[in-house]
Amino acid sequence: MLIVGGVAPALAEEATPAAASAMPPPDPARIFAPLAYPMPAGSTRSAGGVPGGAYWQNSVDYEIKAAIDPTNRLLSGSEIITYANNSPDALDVLWVQLDQNIYRDGSRGNFVNPQRHGDHTDGDVIESVSIEQDGKSIPVTPVISDTRMQVPLPTALEGKGGKIRLKIVWHYTIPGPSGGRTAVSSTRNGDIYEVAQWYPRMAVYDDVRGWDTAPYLGQEFFLDYGDIDYSVTVPWNFTVVGSGALLNQADVLTQTERDRLAQAAKSDERVMIRTEADIHDPKSHPAQTGTKTWHFRMNNTRDVAFAASPAFLWDAARLNLPPVVVEPGHAPVPRLAMSAYPVEGAGPHQWDRSTSYVKYAIEYFSRRWYPYPWPNAINLGGHGAAMEYPGIVFDGMSDKDPELFWVTAHELGHDWFPMVVGSNERRHAFMDEGFNTFIDTYASDDFNSGEFAPKHDVEFAPATGKPAEDILPVLRDPAAPRLMTPSDLIPEHYRHPVTYFKAAYGLKLLREQILGPERFDRAFRRYIAMWAYRHPTPSDFFRLMDSETGEDLSWFWRGWYFNNWGPDYAVKSATPTGEGAAPGLLVTVDNKGWLPLPVTLQVSYTDGTNARLTIPTEAWYLRNEIELTIPGSRTPQAVTLDPGHDIPDLNRADNTLTLAPPQPAPPAAPPAR
């Protein structure tokens, strides 16, 4: 059997409980063998899972000017990129991502996921590329390959702090609803433009692969951090909401709108910034002809997105978080939770509650895990791509009730993973989708005394809301991809069950069954803090959790992440033992599974009482069968493993051994006369 990196592939015989009975018994030597993590520790990434003393990361700032032509659905723009090469290497080329090229007929992504791109565009039309150097503009001829653009440099960009300014002029046709994450959709009061993946973005050069040029095939992104200053010119009657802070309110908002925003900054309840009456009143805009330019800025971010429409209702409430500086040299400003949506989305079960969900999610995740860093958080009700960008998320105008809460909390949770903790979504989707879904489950439990608990949607425990039951089809499926499978190699029908659900449930098992909340939470918060605005790999996460929690979790990473193993325990026998002063019950427990999670053993007695103990993972280091003596003189009625269904046991048919019928209840006393 070929073993890669010390990890054996999963055994196909584990597909079903019936097949499991025919597979070889678990091999402790394999289960608990040392695990070679894919990314070696070194000077840039320490053995403790934190950035090493020589860690470096490049940075990129953008100045973008764009305009929307609604007649032709054309977005045109120019940008100046200031790129800092903090690596030790001189760079002779730069690589830029052109995500819009996925919509070209014949793109690689179109072959991988043709169902996503029913309509096609010309993609990014690059009008010019030039290097700004010593006050001069030097034209360069780029090489475009699918969704990547290579920019050869006239002279190499030196390492350890060398900087370069790159100017790109471009335009593209915004796809219609078939565009999904970036689209134009119609409403009764006008089109909604959801604009994302919209400007040429620098690829990452790092200590893992050098230039990471994985093409955009429909999964997500990997980006460096920096400050983004962007302006969007739209028709006079459009309202624009976008990542970051709006810097020129006086130019694009009426005094009434500005007064309402000031009121919202002091209110925990939503304040309408634009009402339905405003949508139909031209005087609700500062001008009634021409265009207006909306100017935004977002600091220390990996991306920005925006939405524009004449159809927006817009409401806001304050975020109870400290004010932030949005422009250098200016005073801090209060922060807002916002929602923008068409009248089709209004209603007490729909978007009337959106801003309360936004406010809750941002404040809850900030309090529990890591402070939210940016000025505003916006939920956009439009086409319904259910997609996240820093500070703004695109959800569906028809979402309602639990689905609207769950999708809002999930998409905003992405502000932590991967917007703050900048993992590589193109390669390790479980590090953003799974980690985010994990924190979402607790948000659902907590919100409004559990109004929408437990979370059970397409992302988590979809059938019953009970993860230990709902994950079993994945663990029994020999074709299910492993969590460490590269993102683009996970078939669409496994994406939610594996990348979201299994990844999230793995963290819940770690927290609730293996480590306990106190150790897990401290380590997980440290992971977020140490890798905020940096680029962790799976190996960094594994090492940090090992080091911070004081556990060698190799067996868990191997079984849950590198394989598709599950636990499977059985009560083999239970025999009274001992006499006189030391009676008890001798219980034999078998381990039949390759993921030996801690498990609770419960002895129930005929008098209605019970005794419990936890069998730790270490019990299975050298054997697959153990004997336990449970002291006590009561008459045992049954022995059960995992009575609360806390772990995903692959075959529960042998988890309980009945020893005696329960003792009948005493007859009721006759009524008093």
**Residues 277-334: tens digit of each pLDDT:** 999 999 999 999 999 999 999 999 999 999 999 999 999 999 999 999 999 889 999 9
For the stretch 64-85, pLDDT in tens is: 999 999 999 999 999 999 999 9
**Peptide bond before 323: cis, by omega within 30 degrees of 0?**
no
Confidence class of residue 113 from pLDDT cuts 50, 70 and 90?
A: confident
Of 126-140, 246-260, 276-290, 514-528, the one with minimum mean pLDDT is: 126-140
Which tens digits make up the pLDDT trace of 226-239? 999 999 999 999 99
How far is residue 217 from each of residues 111, 455, 488, measured CA to CA in Å? 9, 29, 7
Query: Cα–Cα distance between 655 and 670 in angstroms, integer?
Result: 40
Confidence of residue 180 (pLDDT cuts 50, 70, 90): confident
Sign of CA pseudo-dihedral 134, 139, 144, 147: positive
Residue-by-residue DSSP string for 457-494: BTTB-TTTS-HHHHTHHHHT-TTPPPTTS-GGGS-HHH
Q: Which two tokens stand for residue 391?
A: 């500070």
403-429: pLDDT as tens digits: 999 999 999 999 999 999 999 999 999
- Which residue intervals of 294-432 are DSSP H helices? 354-368, 401-413
Euclidean distance between CA atoms 194 and 450, whole angstroms = 32
Q: Which residues have a Cβ under 8 Å from the Cβ of 283 and sit 6 or more positions away?
A: none
User: In this predicted structure, what is the pLDDT of residue 500?
Assistant: 98
496-508, pLDDT tens digit by residue? 999 999 999 999 9
The arithmetic mean of pLDDT across residues 552-568, rounded, is 98
Residue 23 pLDDT? 61
**Distance between CA atoms of 373 and 64, rounded to whole angstroms?**
22
State the DSSP string of 184-198: EEEETTEEEEEE-S-
Q: Per-residue pLDDT tens for 611-625?
A: 999 999 999 999 999
Q: Note if the bond before 70 is cis, omega within 30 degrees.
A: no
The SS3 assignment for 357 reads: helix
Q: Rounded to an integer, what distance in angstroms lies between the CA atom of residue 457 and that of residue 454?
A: 9
Q: What is the mean pLDDT of residues 633-656?
A: 97
pLDDT tens digits along 506-517: 999 999 999 999
Strand ranges inside 86-238, DSSP E: 91-97, 125-133, 136-139, 143-145, 148-157, 162-173, 183-187, 190-195, 201-202, 204-206, 210-212, 226-235
Q: Which residue type is seen at 144?
A: I
The Cα–Cα gap between 141 and 526 comes to: 45
Query: How many Cβ atoms from other residues are within 10 Å of residue 353's Cβ?
Result: 19
- CATH says 569-658 is which class? mainly beta
The arithmetic mean of pLDDT across residues 389-408, rounded, is: 97
Residue 10 has pLDDT above 60, yes or no: no
**pLDDT tens-digit profile of 428-480?**
999 999 999 999 999 999 999 999 999 999 999 999 999 999 999 999 999 99
Per-residue confidence band for 13, with pLDDT thresholds at 50, 70 and 90: very low
Give residue 630's identity as a one-letter amino acid code: I
Give CA–CA dist 662/108, Å, rounded. 65
Domain ranges of the chain: 569-658
Between 668 and 5, residue with greater pLDDT: 668
Q: Which residues contact 136 (CB under 8 A, 6 or more apart)?
A: none
Position 6 scores a pLDDT of 33
pLDDT of res. 21 = 45
Q: How many CB atoms lie within 10 A of CB 627?
A: 12
| Cα–Cα distance for residue pair 134/405, rounded to 1 Å | 52
Residue 114 has pLDDT above 70, yes or no: yes
Average pLDDT over residues 382-395: 96
Indicate the pTM of the whole model: 0.94
**Of all residues in the chain, what percent carry a pLDDT higher than 70?**
94
